[in-house]
Structure 1
Amino acid sequence: MQSVAAALARLGDLAATAAVSRLAVAFETAGHELALVGGPVRDAFLDRGTNDLDFTTDASPDQILAIVTPISEAQWDIGRQFGTIAAKIAGETVEITTYRTDSYVDGTRKPEVVFGTSLDEDLLRRDFTVNSIALRLPQMTLVDPAGGIEDLLDGRLRTPATPEQSFGDDPLRMMRAARFSSQLGFQLDDAAFSAMKAGADSIRRISIERVNDELSKLLKTDAPRAGLELLVDSGIAAIVLPELPALRLEIDEHHHHKDVYQHSLTVLEQAIGYEKSRGKLQSPDLVLRLAALLHDIGKPATRRLEAGGVVSFHHHDLVGSKLAKKRLRELRYDNDTIAAVGKLIELHLRFFGYTEGAWSDSAVRRYARDAGDQLERLHILTRADVTTRNRRKADRLGFAYDDIEERIAQLAEEEELNAVRPDLDGEQIMSLLGIRPGRDVGEAYRFLLELRLDEGPIGEERATERLLAWWAARN
């Protein structure tokens, strides 16, 4: 946490940049107010970098456009109805929004926007006090009507208005509370948490697209656990991601198993650690994090209490994959994300057979082939899924996975495993067998692919012999 003087010094450096100084002069010349607001001001106090330049003004959207057009390389209307105009100035993208208030009426999913005339009123309608601090430009005056600086110092998330009013104006702020608790490492105010619990059902008024965006932002933070726990404890997760609280399975005195909910959160934390330390994925990796969080959601549906105090979850990988794809479709994730997460969950148990006996090269090839372009994510997910406190067991699993990764790398080097294909292609198959495109070609291709996986590359001559023998026996 920076001192006020240090934060002002950082903000002074920002205000001196070409983009901000040109904008400040232009608005002052036009007779309008301008203030840097929200994230950039907050992050100056937290000594964090920021990529956003957000401003607020008493000018209307049309007036904003007229002011920025002469000093910018480009301008675009990203939400005129919400009062927001964007522009590129001196190579920097800026967003300028008219003072406003938002509220949802009559159970609608879209807010009703009313433009205002006061900076203080605009700040007091914002989500949290730590985001309700502004810097007037070019005067370099801090404006903090809600006590946001004090809350920054205390590491506290609090709403400028009553939490009931704030969350009532925009229920998505409840999910933003979860995200900021993780992103900033701040403690949510007790009154705000109580309001979240009481108003959880109002999240249904928010469009699925906005819920998706906020959930994704939370998962992309460095430490999403605290925010996810807030969503579960407040009851919001039961509405937007019900599979997560469903992992809190009851444990009776006769049947014992690990806490699946806490295990899943730990797997997510460990996956993030591997994601960063291995450095092979672009971080943050949303697909990996979704798969880590949801990898065991098939367990509640497959839970069986067996004799001797054993609890089983047979086929929870397959069931979980289907449930995850269904939920992600409902949350409007794109098809590639849905398919990748589903595949990772379906495959996440496959490795554990490796520790029961040495796999043949064929089995290792199949493992890598089935993972395809998700192999690195599968490596991470499988490693992260080891949460046992038994150090000997954890080491044994870790050494086993080191071994399978080494074997995959060796086979890839020897055989170009990343592009495993039969030794003959479709055109060659049709020419050799004298057949036209159709089912027979597909079956012949699959025969050769299985041969390739079982025996490795055998060359075109031997592949031709084996194909002709298979075809003769088949017919």
Structure 2
Amino acid sequence: MPVPDDLVRAQENAVVEMVQVGPLAQELADRFAAAGHRLYLVGGSVRDALLGRPSHDLDFTTDARPEAIQAVLEGWAEAVWDTGIAFGTVGAVRHGSTVEITTFRADDYDGVSRNPVVAFGDSIVDDLVRRDFTVNAMAVELTAAPHRFVDPHGGLAALATGTLDTPATPQQSFSDDPLRMLRAARFVSQLGFEPAPRVVEAITAMAEQLDRITRERVQVELTKLVMGAHPRRGIELMVDTGMADRVLPEVPAMRLAIDEHMQHKDVYTHSLVVLEQAIERETDGPDLVLRLAALLHDVGKPDTRRKESDGRVSFHHHEVVGAKLVRRRLRELRYPKVVVDEVAQLVFLHLRFHGYSSGEWTDSAVRRYVTDAGPLLERLHKLVRSDCTTRNRRRAAALQRTYDSLEERIVELREREELDAIRPDLDGNEIMRLLAIPPGPQVGKAYKHLLAVRMERGPLTREQAEAELRAWAAEHLS
């Protein structure tokens, strides 16, 4: 049964009322109207407004060509940049707000790269059909009075049902730009949407086309996915469709390894639970390093899986192997060095606590735990606690109590010593003066020896430190 026109208009008017257009956007629209052009708020700006999500940047589309856009912005914007002008995009800043305005597009793609052969269009409807998903293919015409809602592909209905679908066929959309497949997983994570069956089918058939995308662009989407509200859902979509095999193959590889407790779960599922539990322990918003470490902490298990004589499965030294795999993969994805180093170090250290057992660690072992973790200690606390996924409540409670004991030991030692800044009791200058040696490798070796003594025995008096240094020198410098 067709919907009456007056009801359609009422629904559109209600949507327009939901999209609060600020004075800056209306001011810009008035300038375009005065120049004889149309201006539309479009894409994520409209989607987020309808979802009640904050949107800091504003995206617009227009029938004006790039040169005409620049003319409209002249004298209004505080800054204008044209780095995207070849693709029809002009950016500007006014009163601290960033806007991007793009001429209607009607591009063609070569099917090899993700770079389009740019062609400008004349229709908002034709422009919207080339966008990635229907929830991003809605627009509000600001140069109309009253404002007009434009939704030719059912984006509002998809938004209401939480469905992720494409304006064109998924095959055409993903062939044009394979990155859209990874973006689908990102939106599943960020917005909690469910991909339409035809979208899942197309991604599964076309996942290998992600190889056309640069690692830098893949990393950006993966990071947004991991930092989303529902990263487990996004990761599961990547694994189930084969995208993870092209982007993060160590994750689906974990499905092959049953965990050491021989419970009915694989390491992959365990890692997803650890990720969720780590997120619950975040205190200052999403933490990329903690989330990546939680997801990847057991990636060394498939390569270290062994069946012991008693029938149990072991994964000896999987933390060492895992840290190497993590470092290699994150480098390949072009993550910043600090992220690579910190995630790899957390993976390397995540099993160290299990040597604590019933609390028999010496003060020296506690010092090493703190020193090796360094500024990652609080994240390590969260990761280790999150790594407990046993269904045995008694065992889980015992593990948490044991870690409580370790944290209490750390606090006690911190009160007695400067744990977070452990240094040898003599610095390099004092070593050179006491041993009468010039700068060089011998000074470094002496420094490392004194640091090891400091870790083992705690703070030394001045006399003890000098005696230790002279004893070492007598053995190694004579």
Range into which the TM-score falls when normalised by the shorter chain: over 0.9
Which residue of the partner structure matches residue 347 of structure 2? 345
Letter in 1 for 2:81: W
Which residue of the partner structure matches residue 172 of structure 2? 165
Alignment of 1:323-342 (within 5 A): 323-342=325-344
Alignment of 1:3-402 (within 5 A): 7-12=15-20, 15-17=21-23, 19-139=24-144, 140-249=147-256, 258-275=265-282, 279=283, 282-402=284-404
Q: 2:208, 2:246 within 8 Å by CA — same for their partners in 1?
A: yes
Letter in 1 for 2:199: A
Letter in 1 for 2:243: I
- Once the two structures are superposed, what CA deviation does each residue of 1:222-253 show, in whole Å capped at 9, x if it has no partner? 2111111111111111111111111111669x
Distance 1:306 1:257 in 2: 19
Q: 1:102, 1:170 within 8 Å by CA — same for their partners in 2?
A: no
Distance 2:430 2:258 in 1: 59
Q: CA deviation at 1:110?
A: 2.8
- Counting aligned pairs with the same residue, the percent is 56
**Helix, strand or coil at the partner of 1:248:** helix
Q: 1:366, 1:453 within 8 Å by CA — same for their partners in 2?
A: yes
Q: CA deviation at 1:305?
A: 1.4
Letter in 1 for 2:449: F
What is the TM-score when the length of structure 1 is the normalising length? 0.93
**Helix, strand or coil at the partner of 1:53:** strand
Range with bigger deviation, 462-471 or 439-448: 462-471
Structure 1 gaps, min length 5: none
Q: CA RMSD, aligned part only?
A: 2.0
Q: CA deviation at 1:422?
A: 0.9
Which residue of the partner structure matches residue 416 of structure 2? 414
What is the TM-score when the length of structure 2 is the normalising length? 0.93
Q: CA deviation at 1:210?
A: 0.9
Q: CA deviation at 1:4?
A: 6.7
- Once the two structures are superposed, what CA deviation does each residue of 1:197-237 show, in whole Å capped at 9, x if it has no partner? 11111111111111111111100102111111111111111
**Helix, strand or coil at the partner of 1:36:** strand
Q: 2:254, 2:299 within 8 Å by CA — same for their partners in 1?
A: yes
Alignment of 1:427-446 (within 5 A): 427-446=429-448
Letter in 1 for 2:17: A
**Helix, strand or coil at the partner of 2:92:** strand
Letter in 2 for 1:237: A
Q: 1:383, 1:398 within 8 Å by CA — same for their partners in 2?
A: yes
Distance 1:464 1:6 in 2: 81
1:244/1:103 Cα in 2 relative to 1: closer, same or farther (>3 Å)? Answer: farther
Letter in 1 for 2:380: L
1:62/1:348 Cα in 2 relative to 1: closer, same or farther (>3 Å)? Answer: same
**Helix, strand or coil at the partner of 2:390:** coil
- Once the two structures are superposed, what CA deviation does each residue of 1:250-300 show, in whole Å capped at 9, x if it has no partner? 669xx767410101111111111111xxx2xx5322111111111111111
Distance 1:384 1:406 in 2: 18
**Helix, strand or coil at the partner of 1:355:** coil
Q: CA deviation at 1:353?
A: 0.9
- 1:452 lines up with 2:454 in the alignment: yes
Letter in 2 for 1:400: T
**Helix, strand or coil at the partner of 2:250:** coil
Q: 2:38, 2:143 within 8 Å by CA — same for their partners in 1?
A: no
Q: 1:266, 1:387 within 8 Å by CA — same for their partners in 2?
A: yes
Letter in 2 for 1:260: V
Letter in 2 for 1:9: E
Range with bigger deviation, 55-64 or 106-115: 106-115
Distance 2:109 2:223 in 1: 23
Q: CA deviation at 1:148?
A: 0.6
Q: CA deviation at 1:103?
A: 4.6
Structure 2 gaps, min length 5: 1-10
> How many positions carry a matched residue from both structures?
464
Q: CA deviation at 1:78?
A: 3.6
1:250/1:425 Cα in 2 relative to 1: closer, same or farther (>3 Å)? Answer: closer
Q: CA deviation at 1:52?
A: 2.2
Q: 1:257, 1:311 within 8 Å by CA — same for their partners in 2?
A: no
